[in-house]
């Protein structure tokens, strides 16, 4: 699905609604001087970066919220492993360990508000990896944006909504890739964008419901356009809502998150090993996942797919990083 598709959303009552624009504050970043470096989607750190030993993780505890069939909240305590990457003396990046495993990617036909592009469902095997607990914040972005340029310039303050703990937005896929390259060079780890399969696996956290907390979404659990209830009309600080069972926050709503994969209209011939799908697709367009503060519920589902031109920036577009 793309911005220009004139996409019709479905309300939770099943009735068709009006079109929902995703083009607010939409800009096209000029990447003409970057095509040789970035369009291949294989950016790596320069040769003078040193590879670090695997990080030492620590256990952290958190509370997970689930919704039962009646919409009542059920809370439980969970544990996961993480480590802290210090970006400077005060700004840190929290990376959560995601165990490997298999999952069913995509949505069944009976899932309310699902689309054909989310099918066929298929089994994907995922290797262990680390992913950011939150989308990249403006404080984290600023530290890395002020490091020496490798492939393209990064504006230290690109966001429409300002705040150190708000997610960075108004960044293109190329900007996100440049962030990963600079972060890799600084830390000695090979940071990158998640693949689409890694993202959905991390979001679901071993669930098969439309959302990791259940069949419905509520304003108490995510920042999205609930329309009839509470529409915040802006981003909120990362970690404002309960995490999923892997310990990851803000996987539904807040900002759309860039992935490595090229655009494909369905899952026929999709990789089954969790790798990025970067062949036989539309290289100009890259995948985004998760929905945003301006999205209706159907776009925030675990299986929902969206794509946009890789050079486009928008106040709904952000990202989180991974390494494996």
- Interval 74-93: pLDDT, tens: 999 999 999 999 999 999 99
What pLDDT score does 39 carry? 44
Residue 233 lies in a domain: yes
Q: Which range has the worst mean pLDDT, 35-44, 101-110, 296-305?
A: 35-44
Tell whether the model's pLDDT for residue 23 goes beyond 50. Answer: no
Predicted confidence (pLDDT) at residue 15 exceeds the cutoff of 70:
no
Q: Which residue range forms the structural domain that includes residue 194? A: 74-323
Distance CA(78)–CA(242), nearest Å, equals 12
CB-based burial label for 132 (10 Å; 0-12, 13-18, 19+):
buried
Q: How confident is the model at residue 230 (pLDDT cuts 50, 70, 90)?
A: confident
pLDDT exceeds cutoff 60 at 188: yes
Q: Strands of the chain (E only): list them.
A: 8-10, 16-19, 27-28, 58-67, 73-86, 92-98, 101-105, 122-126, 129-132, 256-263, 282-289, 306-309, 312-313, 317-318, 322-323
Q: Is the pLDDT of residue 8 over 80?
A: no
Asked whether residue 5 carries a pLDDT value surpassing 60, the answer given is no
Peptide bond into 284 cis (omega under 30): no
* CATH number of the domain within which 279 lies: 3.90.1580.10
Asked, for residue 255, whether it belongs to a domain, the answer is: yes
* Locus of tokens 């990789």: 271
User: In the structure encoding, which two tokens stand for residue 144, read together?
Assistant: 């890395």
pTM of the model: 0.88
**Residue 10 belongs to some domain of the structure:** no
Residue 113: inside a domain? yes
Q: Taking residues 61-68, report their average pLDDT.
A: 97
The half-sphere exposure of 238 on its side-chain side, counting CA atoms within 13 A, is 27
Asked if the structure places residue 2 within a domain, the reply is no
Give 50 or 269, the one with higher predicted confidence: 269
Helix (H, G, I), strand (E, B) or coil at 126: strand
| Residue 319 confidence (pLDDT) | 99
pLDDT, mean over the chain: 89
- Residue 10: pLDDT band (50, 70, 90) is very low
pLDDT at residue 27, rounded to an integer = 62
pLDDT over threshold 90, residue 13: no
Output the pLDDT for position 50.
59
Given a cut of 90, whether residue 143 has pLDDT beyond it is: yes
Looking up tokens 């220009």 gives: 4
Tell me the two tokens of residue 257: 């998150």
Asked if residue 198 has pLDDT above 70, the reply is yes
State the Cα–Cα distance between residues 260 and 238, nearest whole angstrom. 22
The model's pLDDT over 173-184, given as tens digits with 9 standing for 90+, comes to 999 999 999 999
Residue that wins the pLDDT comparison between 15 and 272? 272
Q: Tell me, what's the pLDDT at 28?
A: 61
Q: Which is higher by pLDDT, 24 or 310?
A: 310
The model's pLDDT over 203-216, given as tens digits with 9 standing for 90+, comes to 999 999 999 999 99
Q: Domains in the chain: how many in total?
A: 1
Residue length of the chain: 324
Cis peptide before 120 (omega within 30 of 0): yes
Quick check: 25 pLDDT over 70? no
Q: Is the residue at 78 inside a domain?
A: yes
Average pLDDT over residues 155-171: 99
> DSSP label at 85?
E
Residue 18: both structure tokens together: 């009006």
Q: What is the mean pLDDT of residues 298-305?
A: 98
In a domain, 43, yes or no: no
Residue 67 lies in a domain: no
Cα gap 281→105, rounded to integer Å: 18
- Backbone phi and psi for residue 313, each to the nearest 5 degrees, phi listed first: -115, 155
């Amino acid at each position: 699905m793309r911005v220009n598709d004139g996409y019709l959303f479905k309300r939770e009552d099943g009735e068709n609604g009006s079109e929902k624009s995703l083009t607010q504050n939409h800009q096209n970043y000029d990447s003409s001087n970057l095509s040789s470096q970035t369009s291949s989607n294989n950016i790596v750190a320069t040769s003078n970066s040193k590879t670090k030993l695997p990080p030492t993780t620590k256990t952290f505890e958190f509370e997970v919220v689930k919704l039962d069939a009646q919409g009542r909240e059920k809370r439980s305590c969970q544990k996961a492993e993480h480590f802290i990457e210090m970006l400077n003396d005060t700004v840190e990046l929290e990376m959560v360990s995601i165990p490997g495993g298999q999952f069913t990617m995509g949505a069944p036909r009976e899932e309310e508000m699902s689309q054909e592009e989310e099918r066929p469902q298929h089994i994907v095997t995922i290797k262990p990896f680390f992913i950011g607990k939150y989308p990249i914040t403006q404080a984290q972005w600023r530290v890395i944006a002020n490091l020496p340029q490798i492939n393209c310039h990064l504006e230290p303050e690109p966001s429409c909504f300002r705040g150190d703990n708000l997610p960075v937005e108004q960044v293109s896929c190329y900007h996100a890739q440049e962030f990963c390259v600079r972060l890799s060079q600084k830390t000695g780890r090979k940071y990158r964008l998640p693949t689409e399969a890694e993202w959905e696996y991390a979001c679901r956290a071993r669930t098969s419901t439309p959302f990791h907390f259940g069949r419905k979404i509520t304003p108490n659990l995510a920042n999205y356009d609930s329309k009839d209830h509470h529409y915040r009309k802006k981003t909120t600080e990362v970690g404002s809502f309960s995490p999923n069972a892997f310990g990851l926050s803000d996987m539904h709503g807040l900002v759309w998150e860039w992935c490595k994969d090229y655009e494909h209209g369905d899952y026929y011939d999709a990789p089954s090993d969790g790798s990025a799908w970067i062949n036989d697709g539309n290289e100009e367009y890259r995948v985004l996942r998760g929905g945003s503060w301006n999205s209706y519920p159907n776009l925030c589902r675990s299986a929902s797919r969206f794509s946009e031109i890789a050079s486009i920036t928008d106040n709904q577009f952000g990202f989180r990083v991974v390494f494996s």
